[in-house]
């Protein structure tokens, strides 16, 4: 790959990639009609009035706060505000102003001042800095040179690029957006079906929060009090396996239906060109070695691996921008640090909100009641997990990944412990299900993002791409991801083998 093409790819990506990690910052998912919105606001007011004025039991307070929080989320209230409001209202009802004041004086500090969360700003900084280097375009170009000539090769290259970016940034919507700008026009130019072109880009983003570094897995570890190192390592095998299953599914479908991904008739790429293309993506294997290798070997804790990874990413950023001058380098670093501070502050605010809600769930007896109810139903662990598969798909219609996890994990923890379900394994299950919900019809938010991106004529090359086309393209990937969920339920060691065999801390 020539330096000129690398510079072009870099300038193209630097303009089109989102400026920050999208996952930790919840977005409004649902836009109701005016009448429906007013009804939900009225119900919120009614629930609030009932909690404040009615003479109800402690358990009833907890039960009413949950739908109040959900309705606030549907109405577009920020997830941290919705959870903090519902939790604080319930705490005031149970303990008065003194009880609420005591909780608010301790929860913000205890929520943020956690050693396990110190890795979060490191992972965020690493992803933001690498987003400035043009690695997306270079990674896809390299994958295209190696895989492009096989049937369905461009789609497989998109999956491979998504997996590579997941190991560098960990952003679902960021990966789908960045890959969409590069991969969709390339596939349409090669006469790929618009369904496959948009579907594979949408699905590639789901790898972002499974393969470490994953901010969501770190946040889950903070809520469930699992060790961060093993929690991150648990995502490696399922994440890689999901990418492999996506690639196999694409190749099988392309073989059965040649019109889906016509064979390309371009000249064979010389091996020298292929090998030179790998030189442009050297930051990825370096970071993977630092983060995963460091944690697996026990040489570094998760926090230390994140700090070293962030330092390596900064050095890569400085090296890649060295020809632009010192001012440009400092400008990139300044923007990266500012965006990291903003994203991390948002994450901490979210954690404060969820811990306020968690305190209410515990004090009201809702968690214990849920545990007793599940125990009385005599559900097996597999029956519970299959029920949660449906639950997460439904919740995905109304809220984003982080909101789903923060709303369900505090309630589920006692139930999971009662059924002896490994919490590290469940973190992978929950994050994977939440990611699947993000692309599942009829309200997968990542599908909406890709559809909006596909309306740009520079992306669709004049091809009309409807939202239904994007969702039809997602169906096969959703089915494949659900097959992985079933495999994880039947064979838990797929997630637990790597952390149990390593020395992660």
- pLDDT one-digit tens code per residue, 431-453: 999 889 878 876 667 787 788 88
Do 102 and 203 sit in the same domain of this protein? no
Q: Is the pTM of this model over 0.85?
A: no
For the cut 50, the answer to whether the pLDDT of residue 19 exceeds it is no
Q: Is residue 19 part of a domain?
A: no
Q: Which of 23, 21, 31 has its CA nearest to residue 397? A: 31
Count CB atoms within 10 A of the CB of residue 112. 18
The first and second tokens of residue 17, run together, are 């990639």
- Compare 30 and 189 and report the one with higher pLDDT: 189
Residue 229: φ, ψ to 5°: -55, -55
∠ CA 390-178-152 to the nearest 5 degrees?
A: 75
User: Are residues 238 and 164 part of one domain?
Assistant: yes
Average pLDDT, the chain: 79
Q: How far apart are CA 403 and CA 131, in angstroms?
A: 25
Residues 108 and 152 in one domain: no
Q: Average pLDDT of 316-340?
A: 80
Does residue 244 lie in a domain region? yes
Rounded Cα distance, 159 and 240, in Å? 10
Do the Cβ atoms of 167 and 211 come closer than 8 Å? yes
Task: Give the position of tokens 């008065």.
Answer: 96
Could you tell me if 394 and 488 lie in one domain?
yes
Q: What's the average model confidence in pLDDT over 392-405?
A: 73
What CA–CA distance (Å, rounded) separates 218 from 229?
9
pLDDT band at 8 (very low <50, low <70, confident <90, very high): very low
Give the span between the Cα atoms of 205 and 171, in whole angstroms. Answer: 7
Provide the b/e sequence for 72-81 (b: ≥16 CB within 10 Å): bbbbebbbbe
Q: What is the C-alpha separation between 108 and 121, in angstroms, rounded?
A: 17
In this structure, is residue 15 part of a structural domain? Answer: no
Q: Dihedral through CA 335, CA 336, CA 342, CA 345, nearest 10?
A: -150
* Residue 31 domain-assigned (yes or no): no
Question: 280 by DSSP, 3-state: which?
Answer: coil
Instruction: Based on the fold, state whether residues 107 and 64 are members of the same structural domain.
Output: yes
- Which pLDDT score is estimated for 245? 95
Cis bond upstream, residue 213 (ω within 30): yes
Cα–Cα distance, 436 to 358 (Å, whole number): 25
Read off φ and ψ for residue 333, nearest 5 degrees.
Answer: -65, -40
**Number of domains making up the chain:** 2
H or E segment and range at residue 184: helix 172-189
Distance, CA of 271 to chain centre: 35
Whether 336 is covered by a domain: the verdict is no
Q: Measured in Å, how far apart are the chain's first and last C-alpha atoms?
A: 40
Q: Looking at residues 168-186, what average pLDDT do you find? A: 73
98, 142: one domain: no
253 with 375, same domain? yes
Q: Which of 170, 342, 137, 157 is nearest to 251 (CA)?
A: 157
Q: How far apart are CA 405 and CA 434, in angstroms?
A: 7
Phi, psi of 75 (to 5 degrees): -70, -5
- Going by pLDDT thresholds of 50, 70 and 90, the confidence category of residue 22 is very low
- Which of 112, 147, 164 terminates a domain? The answer is 112
Q: Is there a single domain that holds both residue 80 and residue 137?
A: no
The larger pLDDT score, comparing residue 178 to residue 6, is at 178
- What's the confidence (pLDDT) of residue 248? 93
Question: In the prediction, which pLDDT does 31 show?
Answer: 47
Q: Sorting pLDDT into bands at 50, 70 and 90, what band is 24?
A: very low
Q: What percent of the chain has pLDDT over 70?
A: 83
Distance between CA atoms of 50 and 66, rounded to whole angstroms? 13
Residues 166 and 224 in one domain: yes
In a domain, 43, yes or no: no
Query: What does the block give as tokens for 429?
Result: 């299950």
Say whether pLDDT at 274 is over 80: no
Residues for the chain: how many in total?
Answer: 505
Q: Clarify whether residues 106 and 146 are in a common domain.
A: no
pLDDT (mean) for 169-187? 74
Say whether both 69 and 149 belong to one domain: no
Specify the range with the lowest mean pLDDT, choosing from 73-87, 110-124, 410-424, 476-490. Answer: 110-124
Which domain, by its residues, includes 446? 131-276+361-501
Task: Tell me the two tokens of residue 265.
Answer: 């008739």
DSSP code of residue 118: G
Structural contact between residues 212 and 233, judged by C-beta atoms closer than 8 angstroms: yes
SS3 content of the chain, % helix, strand, coil (to 5): 75, 0, 25
Tell me what pLDDT residue 331 has: 82
Q: How far apart are CA 453 and CA 72, in angstroms?
A: 28
Q: Is residue 314 part of a domain?
A: no
Q: Is residue 298 part of a domain?
A: no
Q: Based on the domain organization, do 184 and 265 belong to the same domain?
A: yes
Q: Taking 50 as the threshold, does the pLDDT of residue 14 lie above it?
A: no
Mean pLDDT, rounded, for 3-20? 39
């Amino acid at each position: 790959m020539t330096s000129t093409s690398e510079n072009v790819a870099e300038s193209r990506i630097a303009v089109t990639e989102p400026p920050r990690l999208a996952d930790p910052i919840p977005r409004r998912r649902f836009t109701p009609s005016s009448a429906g919105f007013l009804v939900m606001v009225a119900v919120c007011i009614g629930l609030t009035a009932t909690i404040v004025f009615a003479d109800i039991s402690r358990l009833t307070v907890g039960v009413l706060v949950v739908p109040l929080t959900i309705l606030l989320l549907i109405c577009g209230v920020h997830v941290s505000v919705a959870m903090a409001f519902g939790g604080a209202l319930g705490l005031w009802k149970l303990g008065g102003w003194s009880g609420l004041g005591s909780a608010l004086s301790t929860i913000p500090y205890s929520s943020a001042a956690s050693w396990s969360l110190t890795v979060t700003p490191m992972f965020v900084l690493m992803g933001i800095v690498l987003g400035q280097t043009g690695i997306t375009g270079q990674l896809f170009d390299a994958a295209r040179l190696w895989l492009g000539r096989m049937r369905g090769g461009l789609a497989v290259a998109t999956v491979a690029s998504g997996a590579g970016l997941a190991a560098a940034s960990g952003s679902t919507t960021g990966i789908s957006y960045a890959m969409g700008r590069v991969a969709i026009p390339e596939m349409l130019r090669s006469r790929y079906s618009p369904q496959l072109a948009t579907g594979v880009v949408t699905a590639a983003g789901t790898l972002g929060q499974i393969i470490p570094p994953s901010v969501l897995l770190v946040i889950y570890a903070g809520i469930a009090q699992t060790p961060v190192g093993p929690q991150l390592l648990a995502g490696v095998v399922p994440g890689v396996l999901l990418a492999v299953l996506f690639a196999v599914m694409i190749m099988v479908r392309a073989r059965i239906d040649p019109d889906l991904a016509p064979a390309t008739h371009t000249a064979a790429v010389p091996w020298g060109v292929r090998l030179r293309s790998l030189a442009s993506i050297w930051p990825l294997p370096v970071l993977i070695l630092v983060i995963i290798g460091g944690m697996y070997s026990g040489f570094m804790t998760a926090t230390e691996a994140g700090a070293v990874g962030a330092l390596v990413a900064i050095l890569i950023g400085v090296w890649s921008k060295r020809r632009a001058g010192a001012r440009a380098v400092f400008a990139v670093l300044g923007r990266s640090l500012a965006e990291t501070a903003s994203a991390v502050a948002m994450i901490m605010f979210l954690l404060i909100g969820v811990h306020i809600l968690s305190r209410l769930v515990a004090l009201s007896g809702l968690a214990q009641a849920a545990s007793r109810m599940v125990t009385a139903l005599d559900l097996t662990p597999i029956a519970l997990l299959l029920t949660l598969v449906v639950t997460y798909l439904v919740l995905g219609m109304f809220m984003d990944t982080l909101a789903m996890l923060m709303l369900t994990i505090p309630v589920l923890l006692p139930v999971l412990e009662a059924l002896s379900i490994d919490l590290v394994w469940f973190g992978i299950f929950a994050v994977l299900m939440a990611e699947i919900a993000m692309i599942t019809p009829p309200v997968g938010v990542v599908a909406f993002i890709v559809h909006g991106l596909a309306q740009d004529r520079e992306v669709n090359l004049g091809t009309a791409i409807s939202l239904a086309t994007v969702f039809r393209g997602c169906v096969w990937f959703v089915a494949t991801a659900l097959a992985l969920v079933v495999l994880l339920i039947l064979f838990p060691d797929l997630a637990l083998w790597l952390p149990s065999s390593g020395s992660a801390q």
